[in-house]
Structure 1
Amino acid sequence: MPSAKPASQDAPLPGLDEASPKDAPHYLGHRERLRTRFLDGEADALPDYELLELILFRTLPRGDVKPLAKALLATFGSFADVLAAPIERLVAIKGVKEATATDFKVVEAAARRFAKGAITKRPVLASWSAVLDYCRTAMAFDDRERFRILFLDKKNGLIADEVQQTGTVDHTPVYPREVVRRALELRATALILVHNHPSGDPTPSRADIEMTRTLIDVSRPLGIEIHDHVIVGREGHASFRGLKLI
């Protein structure tokens, strides 16, 4: 009986048809090309949907994720808005798994930690642009108002960064006595107040202005200076000192 002829190493695997390149899915090789572009230093040139694709690759190892990336941007508006979206809203998008939503939240947390690192080892007022970058990263895309305080020492170094109150989509209660009490506990001599406007428009309201002036009146006799009150939103930021409101 003649021996069987060895299969050629170049022969197609059983059950797979030989397909011409024009018949292959268009996304074959796309992942590797995108990773290569990213690693070659083109990260800043990548559009938002391609950055999202790079994250989606981790939990969706097969298939074309470009349509999902673009659907996320269409739903939430921007790369930052996707990262900041609540997990329950993310997983409501067809194709987004809980693991994928978790990856987005990890990237968001890393961005906040990176931004905060720029203001923790130097006088805050000497790195004001870094302060603004951190405040926007930390709060601009929240869907509820939050009132944050940066507590500073006599050299304007950062002692603590705390969210004092969380409110609704258009209001956060602020209690001046609690603010002053916490400043005294930390031996802070100056404060930077920060809160966000989920509407996106950082323009101070009359209530914002009145609350800030009340805090100034309460804290100044105790030797605590209010350096600024910054409002952040998707459309930018507003500084009370810059607007000459304090």
Structure 2
Amino acid sequence: MKPRERMLKIGSEGLSKEELIAILLRTGTRGKGVLELANELLHSFNSSLKMLANAEIEEIASVDGVGIAKAASIKAALELGKRLYRELSDNRILLDKPESVYEYCHEMRFFEKEVLRVILLDSKLFSVFHKDITQGTNNQTIFHPREIFRIAIRSNATSIIVVHNHPSGDPSPSAEDKKATEMLISAGDILGIEIIDHLIVGRERYYSFRENRLLGDRKGGRRKR
């Protein structure tokens, strides 16, 4: 399966560095497939995206089969990555209180289907980024701990906040919500990833498992050790 087809099927997070670069390169050269060319390009810079990002266009273009046009595409994509990082760093939001999380996810109040959102946090409980990983029916979302923790593990996150909405407008937790939260806490304990809160977003209010002391014995958003 080609890298572009794999990305459409499993998402960009599931692709290797080589596959992502292959998508930017678009084509290989005579006798050399695009994945092979991507591998050679990365190898030329010690498999380091940092070295590749710091290289001049001419250095990238000097790799056999790359050329100026492909080098320019690679350089532009890496520059966008740098600018995105700066934008995220400049707009981090402190999510140490449930009401802050509710405001952060305010648009979820109007979703017509249940959506599950995972928010990754740094050590000081500032948002790093978030990802919506499932979409349910009008009144139900189905999720498994592995889906939630996959993105946290890939990003080396140590704590997360889980949020989902109730399209009915009533954020009161169902029995399934409570059971799912217990599963998440158990899985997080095993993986060393803390669930800071599980928030249910309603139309006019929210329900916080942390506020209602359903995340264990916590102080300041962290489990007592």
- Higher Cα Rg, which structure: 1
After TM superposition, give the deviation of residue 183 of structure 1 in Å: 0.6
Does the 8 A contact of 1:147 with 1:163 survive in 2?
yes
The equivalent residue for 2:147 is 178
Q: How does 1:158-197 map to 2 (within 5 A)?
A: 158-197=127-166
Give me the whole-angstrom Cα distance separating, in 2, the residues matched to 1:212 and 1:138. 22
Instruction: Please say if 1:124 is aligned against 2:95.
Output: yes
For structure 2, list consecutive stretches of 5 or more residues without a partner in the other structure: 1-87, 216-225
Query: 2:103 is matched with which residue: 124, 133, 136?
Result: 133
Give me the whole-angstrom Cα distance separating, in 2, the residues matched to 1:175 and 1:201. 23
The equivalent residue for 2:168 is 199
After TM superposition, give the deviation of residue 121 of structure 1 in Å: 2.3
Query: 1:227 is matched with which residue: 183, 196, 220?
Result: 196
- Aligned AA (1:171): Q
Normalising to structure 1: TM-score of the pair? 0.49
| 1:88-132 Cα deviation digits (max 9, x unpaired) | xxxxxxxxxxxxxxxxxxxxxxxxxxxxx9x9424321x653322
Kindly, what percent of the aligned residue pairs are identical?
41
The equivalent residue for 1:46 is none
Pair 237,128 (structure 1): closer, same or farther in 2 beyond 3 Å: closer
Does the 8 A contact of 2:161 with 2:195 survive in 1?
yes
Give me the whole-angstrom Cα distance separating, in 2, the residues matched to 1:130 and 1:241. 13
Normalising to structure 2: TM-score of the pair? 0.53
Q: What's the secondary structure of 1:133's corresponding residue?
A: helix
Give me the whole-angstrom Cα distance separating, in 2, the residues matched to 1:147 and 1:214. 15
RMSD over equivalenced CA pairs, Å? 1.9
Pair 148,172 (structure 1): closer, same or farther in 2 beyond 3 Å: same
For structure 1, list consecutive stretches of 5 or more residues without a partner in the other structure: 1-116
**Equivalences, count:** 127
- Aligned AA (2:119): L
Give me the whole-angstrom Cα distance separating, in 2, the residues matched to 1:170 and 1:128. 23
Does the 8 A contact of 2:98 with 2:199 survive in 1?
no
The equivalent residue for 1:105 is none
Q: How does 1:6-155 map to 2 (within 5 A)?
A: 120-125=91-96, 128-135=98-105, 137-155=106-124
Instruction: Please say if 1:244 is aligned against 2:221.
Output: no
